[in-house]
Structure 1
Amino acid sequence: MKAIVCDKYGSPDLLELKEIKKPIPAENQVLVKVHAASLNFGNLVLLKGKPFLARFAFGLTRPKYSIPGGDIAGTVEAVGKDIKQFQVGDEVFGDLSVCGWGGFAEYVSVPEFALALKPANISFEEAAATPMAGVTALQGLRDKGKIKSGQKVLIYGASGGVGTFAVQIAKSFEAEVTGVCSPRNVEILRSIGADHILDYTKEDFTQSEEYYDLILGVNGSNVISAYKRVLKPNGNFVHVGGSESQLFQTLFLGPIISMTGSKKICNLLQRANQKDLNYLKELLESGKVKPIIDKRYKLSEITEAFKYFQEGHAQGKVVITV
Structure 2
Amino acid sequence: MKAAVYKSYGSPEVMEIRDVDKPFIKDEDRVLIKVVSASVNQYDNLFRKGYFPTRIENGLIKPKVQILGIDVSGTVEAIGKNVQKFKVGDHVFGSCSGSHAEYVCPKQSVITIMPNNSTFEEAAAIPCAAQTALQALRDVGKVKAGDKVLIYGASGGVGHFAVQLAVYLGAEVTAVCSTLNMEWVKNLGAHHVIDYTEEDFARNGKKYDVILDAVGKRTFFSCLRSLTENGIYITEHALYPKYHPIQLMIGSVIGSKKAKIHLAKPNDADLVLLRVLMEKEKLRPVIEKYFPLHEIVEAHRHIESGRTKGKVVLTIG
Question: What is the TM-score with the length of structure 1 in the denominator?
Answer: 0.94
Whether the aligned pair in 2 keeps the contact of 1:83 and 1:112 (CA below 8 Å) is yes
Shift of 1:191: 1.6
Report 1:92-131 matches (<5 A).
Answer: 92-96=92-96, 101-131=97-127
Query: Structure 1 127/89 Cα, relative in aligned 2: closer, same or farther at 3 Å?
Result: same
The amino acid that maps onto 1:122 is: S
Report 1:65-80 matches (<5 A).
Answer: 65-80=65-80
The amino acid that maps onto 2:31 is: V
Distance between the aligned counterparts of 1:142 and 1:121, measured in 2? Answer: 25
Report 1:45-84 matches (<5 A).
Answer: 45-50=46-51, 52-84=52-84
Shift of 1:243: 9.2
- Corresponding residue for residue 294 of structure 2: 300
- Corresponding residue for residue 303 of structure 2: 309
Unaligned 5+ runs, structure 1: none
Q: How many aligned positions are there? A: 315
Whether the aligned pair in 2 keeps the contact of 1:93 and 1:117 (CA below 8 Å) is yes
Picking from 227, 238, 241, the partner of 2:223 is 227
Q: Are residues 1:22 and 2:16 paired?
A: no
Shift of 1:283: 1.3
Whether the aligned pair in 2 keeps the contact of 1:292 and 1:316 (CA below 8 Å) is yes
Whether the aligned pair in 1 keeps the contact of 2:238 and 2:262 (CA below 8 Å) is no
The amino acid that maps onto 1:34 is: V
Shift of 1:220: 4.7
Report 1:223-262 matches (<5 A).
Answer: 223-241=219-237, 244=240, 247-262=241-256
Whether the aligned pair in 2 keeps the contact of 1:219 and 1:243 (CA below 8 Å) is no
Moved over 4 A (4+): none
Which deviations, in whole Å up to 9, do the C-alpha atoms of 1:185-239 show, x marking residues without a partner?
A: 1122112111100000111101011110110011253342221111011111101
Shift of 1:77: 0.7
Shift of 1:278: 1.6
- In structure 1, the residue corresponding to 2:106 is in which secondary structure? strand
Report 1:209-224 matches (<5 A).
Answer: 209-224=205-220
Distance between the aligned counterparts of 1:305 and 1:232, measured in 2? Answer: 40
The amino acid that maps onto 2:2 is: K
RMSD: 1.5
Which deviations, in whole Å up to 9, do the C-alpha atoms of 1:138-176 show, x marking residues without a partner?
A: 111111111010111000000000000000000001111
Whether the aligned pair in 1 keeps the contact of 2:238 and 2:261 (CA below 8 Å) is no
- Corresponding residue for residue 154 of structure 2: 158
* Identity between Structure 1 and Structure 2 (%): 45
- In structure 1, the residue corresponding to 2:143 is in which secondary structure? coil
The amino acid that maps onto 1:93 is: F
The amino acid that maps onto 1:131 is: P
Distance between the aligned counterparts of 1:321 and 1:215, measured in 2? Answer: 34
The amino acid that maps onto 1:305 is: A
- Corresponding residue for residue 175 of structure 1: 171
Distance between the aligned counterparts of 1:169 and 1:222, measured in 2? Answer: 21
The amino acid that maps onto 2:43 is: G
- Corresponding residue for residue 36 of structure 1: 37
Whether the aligned pair in 2 keeps the contact of 1:251 and 1:267 (CA below 8 Å) is no
Distance between the aligned counterparts of 1:199 and 1:34, measured in 2? Answer: 38
Whether the aligned pair in 2 keeps the contact of 1:68 and 1:102 (CA below 8 Å) is yes
Shift of 1:20: 2.3
Distance between the aligned counterparts of 1:221 and 1:81, measured in 2? Answer: 46
Whether the aligned pair in 2 keeps the contact of 1:213 and 1:236 (CA below 8 Å) is yes
Whether the aligned pair in 2 keeps the contact of 1:179 and 1:194 (CA below 8 Å) is yes
Distance between the aligned counterparts of 2:82 and 2:292, measured in 1? Answer: 34
- In structure 1, the residue corresponding to 2:230 is in which secondary structure? strand
Distance between the aligned counterparts of 2:242 and 2:143, measured in 1? Answer: 24
Decide which moves more: 280-289 or 293-302: 280-289
The amino acid that maps onto 1:290 is: R
Distance between the aligned counterparts of 1:24 and 1:37, measured in 2? Answer: 19
